[in-house]
Amino acid sequence: MNLKFGTDGIRGPVENKITPEACLRIGHATGLVMKELGWDTVVIGKDTRISGYMLESALQAGFIASGVDVNLLGPLPTPGVAYLTKTLRNKFGVVISASHNNFLDNGIKIFNEDGEKISRDIEKKIEKNIAKNLTPVETSKIGKAYRFDESGPRYIEFCKSTVPPDISFSSLRIVIDCANGACYKVSPEIFQELGAEVIKIGTEPDGYNINQNCGSTNPEVVQEAVINNRADYGISLDGDGDRVILVDKEGNILDGDDLLYILAFANPNRTGSWSGVVGTLMSNLGLEDGIQKLGYKFIRADVGDKYVTEMLTKKGWMLGGEASGHIICKDLVSTGDGTIAALKVISSLLMLEKSPQEILSNYTKIPQINKAVSVNNKDIVNDKDLKALIKAIESDMTVGRILVRPSGTESKIRIMVEAPEKQVAEKFASDIEKIIRSKL
């Protein structure tokens, strides 16, 4: 079975990749590896996809067959599972989710005892075990399953605790789009309990409508609602709640780069563990320049919040993120958390008594064009003609960047081009897209 970890777990179509058999094998293989490490208990959460019921049962059976005890959390944001993995002192955690993908896909994300994505070394051991025969442990040693009903309230209280006690949201009207996903219940309650008037979108999941014309990949939905309702902020989360896009009262869309800059600007201490910020290969050149002008060091990690977290740990720093909306506030959480990021950004703006645009006027993004081409074989990124074109374009550019890479979460090739002039970036991106399509 072609079950390999990408940038964010194992992900793919339910009909032919993330099947019940696949999840049974993933659970069993993961359980065997975790037991070798001395970990014998797992918490399992999921988003709202219709396939989650089926895959949860299969995954649970795989873990039990390996002798691992299971605690079922039910629907809960990915960062909520990471938080409970750590605080409940279970040895590892699993989320059944395909994040921002539609309901046809699903996936498996795995956290270690610290609530961080597992290392590549552990992933390789699991991949190796998946191919082995599925043989249960002896009957006297099989695992047990329990249901933990307090997962939502625990996560809500944790999120509220991250807001300073002297900060009140009572003057705010906030639109929140939960993408009909895992945040549909907990995130609106968090902002309501902090005093905000909340206008809800995407909080009626039916198993099929997760991320459908809503959520962080469709921020124009919240943008329109903010303007029509004269709201102060709009919050657009994705299906599993680990990324966020914000909208200000004027209707300006703030991506992950903007949110990262606001948090860096608001932080008064820029020494020690706060001396650097981690972005990714996709982070805008303008963000890098702006962060450095604030007095920070800036380092790029590979694409994926897992790699941002690993770099933060390596450097001993606290703040990092991606343009897509994964923001890691490592002083508070162990992984990307859209709700926590939104709380921290809005709290920071209230403390500073500044609007987002007042702060963002201090840095200027370079025009960046992003495209995605659906492919059957992602090895096309190694095509000699494509490489020759990229090399020729790069030799033409005095300022800017080109990044062509296989998606770690979908069957797509992603194209990113930055240039001082938007039309130039658009032309180069189109040229690259054309040559990729000609190879299909």
pLDDT digits (tens, 9 = 90+) for 279-291: 999 999 999 999 9
Query: Residue 15 has what pLDDT?
Result: 95
Name the H helices within 200-337: 220-229, 256-266, 285-293, 305-315
Phi, psi (5° rounding) for residue 13? -65, 140
Query: Residue 260 has what pLDDT?
Result: 98
Q: Rounded to whole angstroms, how far apart are CA atoms 223 and 226? A: 5
As a whole number, mean pLDDT of residues 413-424 equals: 94
Catalytic pick among 51, 66, 97, 99:
99
CB within 8 Å of 274: residues ≥ 6 apart = 267, 317, 318, 319
Q: What is the pLDDT of residues 224-247, one digit of tens each?
A: 999 999 999 999 999 999 999 999
Q: Rounded to whole angstroms, how far apart are CA atoms 307 and 94? A: 18
Q: Which of 348, 335, 337 is nearest to 163 (CA)?
A: 348
The least confident of 1-5, 110-114, 173-177, 301-305 is 1-5
pTM of the model: 0.92
Q: What is the pLDDT of residues 246-269, one digit of tens each?
A: 999 999 999 999 999 999 999 999
| 171 annotated active-site | no
Query: Residue 191 has what pLDDT?
Result: 98
Amino acid at 384: K
Q: Rounded to whole angstroms, how far apart are CA atoms 183 and 343? A: 14
The pLDDT of residue 1 is above 70: no
Phi, psi (5° rounding) for residue 257? -60, -45
CB within 8 Å of 214: residues ≥ 6 apart = 177, 179, 180, 201, 202, 221
**What letter does residue 9 receive in the DSSP assignment?**
B
Q: Are 68 and 34 in contact (CB under 8 A)?
A: yes
User: Using alpha carbons only, what angle is made at residue 349 by residues 343 and 350, rounded to the nearest 5 degrees?
Assistant: 85
Segment holding 115, helix H or strand E: none
Strand locations in 307-367, DSSP E? 319-321, 327-329
Segment holding 32, helix H or strand E: helix 20-36
As a whole number, mean pLDDT of residues 402-406 equals: 93
As a whole number, mean pLDDT of residues 56-68 equals: 97
Q: Rounded to whole angstroms, how far apart are CA atoms 170 and 197? A: 7
The pLDDT of residue 49 is above 80: yes
The pLDDT of residue 408 is above 80: no
Q: Are 210 and 101 in contact (CB under 8 A)?
A: no
Q: Which of 435, 424, 378 is nearest to 405 (CA)?
A: 378
As a whole number, mean pLDDT of residues 31-42 equals: 94
Strand locations in 302-422, DSSP E? 319-321, 327-329, 368-374, 401-406, 412-418
Q: What is the pLDDT of residues 318-367, one digit of tens each?
A: 999 999 999 999 999 999 999 999 999 999 999 999 999 999 999 999 99
Count CB neighbours of 197 within 10 A: 16
User: Using alpha carbons only, what angle is made at residue 314 by residues 308 and 318, rounded to the nearest 5 degrees?
Assistant: 60
Q: What is the mean pLDDT of the chain?
A: 95
Torsion angle, CA of 354/356/360/362, rounded to 10 degrees? -10
The least confident of 80-89, 153-162, 195-204, 395-404 is 395-404
Query: Residue 131 has what pLDDT?
Result: 86
**Domains in the chain, ordered, with CATH?**
10-149 (3.40.120.10), 154-360 (3.40.120.10), 368-438 (3.30.310.50)
Query: Residue 90 has what pLDDT?
Result: 75
Cα separation values, 376 from 373, 415, 416, Å: 10, 16, 20
Cα separation values, 74 from 1, 55, 201, 335, Å: 27, 12, 21, 19
Query: Residue 89 has what pLDDT?
Result: 80
